Amino acid sequence: MTRYLVGFLCVCALGAAAGCGELYPPWGGGGGHHKVLMCHVPPGNPDNAHEIWVGESAVPAHLDHGDTLGACPFACTEQEIEDAEWASFGRDLDNSRWQKCETQISPESAARLELKWVFDGFTENDVHHPVGDISATPSVVGDGVFFVDWTEGLEEAKVYRIHKETREVVWWRYIWDIADFVEVDAAGNRTPIPGLVSRTSPLVVGDSVIIGTQRRRPELFRDPRPNAWIISLDKNTGAVQWKTEPPRDPLWPTPAQDPSPKDEAGNELLPIPDGSEIVITASPVAHDNRIYVGVSGWAEFLSFWAHYRFFYRGSVLCLDATNGDVIWQSFMVDDDLYVTSEEPETDPNTGQPIPRDRRRYTGNSVWSSAPAIDVKRERLYVTTGNNHTAPKSVLEGVGSGEIVDLPQPGNYMDSIVALDLGTGAAEWSYSPVGNLVDVWQIFCRDTDSDSCAEGPDFDYGAGANLFSVEIGGERRDVVGAGSKAGTYSAVEADTEDPRPAPLWETQVGPGSFFGGIHWGTSVANGVVYAPLGDGFRESGDNGFFAALDGATGQFVWKVPNPIADEGFPPANYPAAFGGIHMSIHAPTTVANGVVFGAPFDLEGHMLALDAATGDLLWSYPSGATVYGGPAVVDGVVYWGNGYQTVAGTRGKGLFAFHVP
């Protein structure tokens, strides 16, 4: 007999609706929950219907804008349940981070989660290789678990495939080896060049595993050798199939076009950057034999070098999945806002020449977790970072109030951007930051420079979600994303307006350069589940988890981080951040009424919350900082720990938990 697991609730204003199972207990019963039979109940077999719990407070918010909460657009058969996988950061093209076909883990069973195994390293040829930091969501396909690790030593960064039942290493490769990032001496000996790692969730598509790389040592960024690649490996052997370096920006100026400043002796203070600071932080996604990935850079970190010149602009790459050839590259600063006049410009206040990198927009990295793919509209939804520089005239105009139409068209700063899948052309963009130019770097030593404009750093580290809701009896597709401003913004996917207004926008909590919504949200049954890191404790709490109605943006629930007393003490964390620190950076994951999330604490807790109420169902201290959200496949929760950057702790391993 076919069993159905259906992913949208049919809760009706009068307690019944066409195509819905009956409510249990009957509507109006007491208690804080209502147990609801799902849609598509097999005729005559209500015992085979899947059940979830929904909180009383979750229902009224929906009844104001329609007759039902959700709809019944899909069902999982037994075969689909058995075949459920997690092949990319967001699991599906919608970037939902929702395991729709989970049946074993539930609000009733989550408290019984227990350790199935932990993979903490392996021994080969009498050499032990401990696991490093695992800060990205692993991928689980077939019998394989695919993941990357890295350490502050950086020469040990690896990519793995292990067996999901036995933990046996099927294959592993050093990142420096697959990228051929080595120095070769006269005798032919290969020595790794320091610093190359991968922090992306492996994309498993067909017979390929695809990752991106970056360099983690800023002091080495002036090394002219490239360090960013998208690399495809054979899923079964780990052999390199192809690797692609992001193309150099065709408008990147040459030293002759834009010479570096010189000291009194005529020596260059800092040679013009050559693009070696470009990195891949975003995880790749795939559709129709094409790979899509965001391109980022370390430029804002490099401002600790006085006189550093900013030329970098973020982009999105589309590659042929067969050979890695570049099909298109779309930059997040339009050419006409990037190219400057050959004629020199003089600052009327100082009489000094204005460097050309202070006369253009730069930045807008696409470092966020992963894009969403809209097959129906043939669009790719990406999210972007802040500007590194903006024209001096614009900054002055904003400061005086003369310029309020921001971001300027073509400057895709702190934005959700819809790109044409076929060409990469921008079709629309929305930014929640209002009338400001978010020009920001982590360091700024050249205090007389306009690059020191103090923007709030409200960029996007979270990728976009694509989901469907019901409003006024009509189904609508929505694109949403959460930013470091602490907002979650939703835009109708059908919009043709190049600069649309949001359908709704909710301030989930305080924003900051180290707070807000950081690495990602999840969406299930038309509800958005957001982690909110309040790094400066502006709210008095250590961050939040929140559920938002996807149709209205209203809170379904909002709960403080339950791990509140195990933050980083001043010895571990800079006093500038408030001494004792607790935040939430990891993305959430949803499976069958359970939300998984992880605070940024020393003990590395993984939490399970009731998706209907936010109540804590289960927690486990993994022993090291958790920075990546879990994958859930066939009743097993997979995640790794460790994040030594920004005061985190060394990883202990990859964990698998199940309900026995």
**Residues 274, 405 within the same domain:** yes
**Residues 429, 560 within the same domain:** no
Q: Which domain holds residue 635?
A: 84-118+462-660
Over the chain (660 residues), the average pLDDT of each successive run of 10 is 38 34 31 36 37 38 37 61 89 97 96 98 93 96 97 79 98 95 90 88 98 77 77 99 94 72 70 73 98 91 69 95 98 90 64 67 94 98 93 77 79 97 98 83 59 76 97 95 96 97 95 86 97 73 90 96 61 42 86 95 91 97 92 98 79 96
The verdict on residue 181 lying in a domain is no
The verdict on residue 251 lying in a domain is yes
Residue with tokens 């990319």: 88
Residues β-bridged to residue 313: 363
**Residues 413, 478 within the same domain:** no
**Residues 112, 69 within the same domain:** no
The verdict on residue 176 lying in a domain is no
Among 46, 78, 110, where does a domain finish? 78
Structurally, the chain folds into a number of domains equal to: 3
**Residues 630, 598 within the same domain:** yes
Ramachandran bin of 602, using left for φ above 0, alpha for ψ from -120 to 50, beta for the remaining angles: alpha
For residues 359 and 391, the answer to whether their CB atoms sit within 8 Å is yes
**Residues 401, 265 within the same domain:** yes
For residues 303 and 451, the answer to whether their CB atoms sit within 8 Å is yes
Determine the pLDDT at residue 5.
40
CATH number at residue 528: 2.140.10.10
**Residues 114, 246 within the same domain:** no
Determine the pLDDT at residue 583.
77
Q: Which two tokens stand for residue 535?
A: 């790094």
**Residues 485, 353 within the same domain:** no
The verdict on residue 88 lying in a domain is yes
Determine the pLDDT at residue 572.
46
Among 435, 563, 538, CA closest to 486: 538
Among 289, 206, 279, CA closest to 245: 279
**Residues 230, 362 within the same domain:** yes
The verdict on residue 426 lying in a domain is yes
CATH number at residue 413: 2.40.128.630
**Residues 345, 262 within the same domain:** yes
**Residues 532, 417 within the same domain:** no
Determine the pLDDT at residue 141.
98
Among 441, 460, 479, where does a domain finish? 460
- 325: how many CB neighbours lie within 10 A of its CB? 11
The verdict on residue 91 lying in a domain is yes
Query: What residues contact 284, with CB distance under 8 A and at least 6 apart?
Result: 88, 200, 203, 210, 211, 212, 230, 291, 292, 293, 370
Among 422, 441, 460, where does a domain finish? 460
Query: What residues contact 576, with CB distance under 8 A and at least 6 apart?
Result: none
Whether a cis peptide bond, with omega within 30° of 0, leads into 510 is no
**Residues 22, 111 within the same domain:** no
The verdict on residue 184 lying in a domain is no
For the CA atoms of 265, 269, 271, 277, what is the dihedral angle to 10 degrees? Answer: 170
The verdict on residue 300 lying in a domain is yes
Helix, strand, coil shares, percent, the chain, to 5: 10, 35, 55
